[in-house]
């Protein structure tokens, strides 16, 4: 458009100069000036989105991800503007996640470290004797720190794609029974509550193709959450059945359930439906995020459902061997 306009203006001015008998060199000068002015005007309008992108990029370099570019045209510049807006939105989300991660990790680390510091100061000052109960409290806080660091390392490996899966067929029943036994023992040892665990697998020799250790990690996270949120003396049910060419695993609890509209958010890092209670009983908010990553790597899916009248159901689909 710019080239056609410049040529057209030049031709028209030269024709007019010939008709009114103006010297050719003067007509050429006038035509050139008019053509250059027209090109400057049109080019400025065409490159205005590029200038907006440049200003927005400078703002992003300063850490401001809010500016967006008006993308009205359908040419390459408009496509560039739309791509830039999409990139800015994704960067803003990444920055938000990064800030939340730093804030949540700092909070999770500060709580056990503060408790350890207080106990150690009391022991050193002689305020408290080094009795077994005090040492057990310190051990619990150290174990909590160890679990958090392990979960953060697992999440980092999963997100970076460096966690290798050893895919092979294995029987699901021993893995579920072992995870259920460990969850029950952990709950009693931690002094949380006594919960009955009911395991039902049909058929009994049901086999899954995947990494048995990582599947065990998923089930352990789901069962720990179910036990943690169930009332004392309640029952947690785990069942596995064949569904089409996949295996469907359900973990049902009798807890308060998930608030309406937040069933998808429970798989976000550090999300807690009950902040005070989850923080008090040792939940870090990383277990379900790790479980989702592992299930996705297996080519399956995981979702949360509310039960009637109360409770939560975690549904996992894995490839059948």
195 plus 155 within the same structural domain: no
Q: Which helix (H) or strand (E) holds 267?
A: none
More confident residue, 189 or 150: 150
d(CA 56, CA 241): 53
Q: Is residue 74 part of a domain?
A: no
Question: Taking Cα atoms as reference points, which of 172, 162, 168 lies closest to residue 249?
Answer: 172
CATH of the domain at 112: 1.10.287.130
Q: Is residue 267 part of a domain?
A: yes
Lowest mean pLDDT among 87-101, 281-295, 298-312: 281-295
152 plus 192 within the same structural domain: no
- Domain's final residue, options 140, 160, 180: 160
Q: Which DSSP string do the residues of 133-167 spell out, in sequence order?
A: HHHHHHHHHHHHHHHHHHHHHHHHHHHHT------
**Percent of the chain scoring above 90 in pLDDT:** 3
Q: Is residue 286 part of a domain?
A: yes
Please give the average per-residue pLDDT across 174-199, as a whole number.
76
Q: What 3-state DSSP class applies to 72?
A: coil
Tens digit of each residue's pLDDT (9 = 90 or more) over 120-139? 888 888 877 888 877 877 88
d(CA 69, CA 47): 12
Measured in whole angstroms, the distance separating CA 235 from the mean position of its chain's CA atoms is 31
Q: Is residue 39 part of a domain?
A: yes
Q: Which DSSP string do the residues of 192-255 spell out, in sequence order?
A: ----EEEEEEESTT-EEEE-HHHHHHHHHHHHHHHHHHSPTT-EEEEEEEEETTEEEEEEE--S
pLDDT at 56 over 60: yes
Lowest mean pLDDT among 95-99, 212-216, 267-271, 315-319: 267-271
Average of per-residue pLDDT values in the chain: 80
d(CA 296, CA 77): 37
179 plus 309 within the same structural domain: yes
172 plus 204 within the same structural domain: yes
What pLDDT does 316 receive? 92
What pLDDT does 317 receive? 92
207 in the Ramachandran plot: left (φ > 0), alpha (ψ -120 to 50) or beta?
Answer: beta
**Percent of the chain scoring above 70 in pLDDT:** 91
What pLDDT does 277 receive? 43
Q: Is residue 83 part of a domain?
A: no
Q: Is residue 88 part of a domain?
A: no
55 plus 18 within the same structural domain: yes
Please give the average per-residue pLDDT across 202-208, as a whole number.
86
147 plus 125 within the same structural domain: yes
Please give the average per-residue pLDDT across 133-155, as a whole number.
77
What pLDDT does 279 receive? 47
Tens digit of each residue's pLDDT (9 = 90 or more) over 156-170? 777 777 777 788 999
249 plus 284 within the same structural domain: yes
Q: Is residue 211 part of a domain?
A: yes
More confident residue, 174 or 139: 174
Tens digit of each residue's pLDDT (9 = 90 or more) over 3-12? 777 778 778 8
What pLDDT does 278 receive? 47
252 plus 213 within the same structural domain: yes
- Domain's final residue, options 16, 51, 67: 67
More confident residue, 237 or 102: 237
- Domain's final residue, options 160, 180, 203: 160
What pLDDT does 248 receive? 92
180 plus 312 within the same structural domain: yes
Q: What is the pTM of this model?
A: 0.62
What pLDDT does 79 receive? 85
102 plus 229 within the same structural domain: no
Residue-number span of the structural domain to which 44 is assigned: 2-67
pLDDT at 29 over 60: yes
pLDDT at 202 over 60: yes
CATH of the domain at 196: 3.30.565.10
11 plus 30 within the same structural domain: yes
Give the count of domains, the chain. Answer: 3
CA dihedral 192, 196, 201, 207 (to 10 degrees): 30
Q: Is residue 152 part of a domain?
A: yes
Tens digit of each residue's pLDDT (9 = 90 or more) over 233-290? 778 888 999 988 889 999 988 888 887 777 777 887 766 655 434 444 555 667 788 8
129 plus 14 within the same structural domain: no
């Amino acid at each position: 458009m710019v080239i056609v306009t410049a040529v057209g203006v030049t031709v028209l001015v030269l024709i007019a100069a010939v008709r009114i008998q103006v010297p050719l060199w003067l007509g050429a000068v006038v035509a050139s000036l008019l053509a250059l002015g027209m090109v400057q005007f049109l080019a400025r309008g065409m490159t205005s989105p590029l200038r907006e992108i440049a200003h927005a990029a400078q703002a992003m370099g300063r850490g401001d991800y809010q500016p967006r570019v008006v993308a009205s045209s359908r040419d390459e510049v408009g496509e560039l503007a739309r791509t830039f807006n999409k990139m800015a939105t994704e960067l803003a989300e990444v920055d938000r996640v990064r800030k939340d991660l730093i804030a949540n990790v700092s909070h999770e680390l500060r709580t056990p470290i503060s408790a350890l510091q207080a106990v150690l100061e009391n022991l050193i000052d002689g305020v408290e004797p080094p009795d077994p109960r005090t040492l057990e409290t310190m051990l619990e806080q150290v174990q909590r720190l160890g679990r958090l660091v392990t979960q953060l390392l697992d999440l980092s490996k999963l997100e970076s794609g460096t966690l290798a899966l050893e895919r092979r067929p294995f029987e699901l029943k021993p893995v579920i029974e072992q995870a259920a036994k460990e969850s029950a023992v952990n709950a009693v040892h931690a002094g949380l509550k006594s919960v009955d665990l009911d395991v039902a697998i049909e058929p009994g020799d049901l086999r899954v193709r995947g990494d048995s250790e990582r599947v065990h990690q998923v089930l352990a996270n789901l069962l720990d959450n179910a036990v943690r949120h169930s009332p004392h003396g309640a029952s947690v049910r785990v069942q596995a059945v064949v569904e089409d060419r996949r295996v469907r695993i359900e973990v049902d609890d009798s807890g308060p359930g998930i608030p309406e509209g937040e069933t998808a958010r429970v798989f976000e890092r550090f999300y807690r439906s009950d902040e005070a209670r989850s923080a008090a009983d040792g939940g870090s908010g990383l277990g379900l995020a790790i479980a989702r990553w592992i299930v996705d790597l297996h080519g399956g899916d995981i979702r949360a459902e509310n039960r009637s009248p109360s409770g939560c159901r975690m549904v996992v689909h894995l490839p059948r061997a």
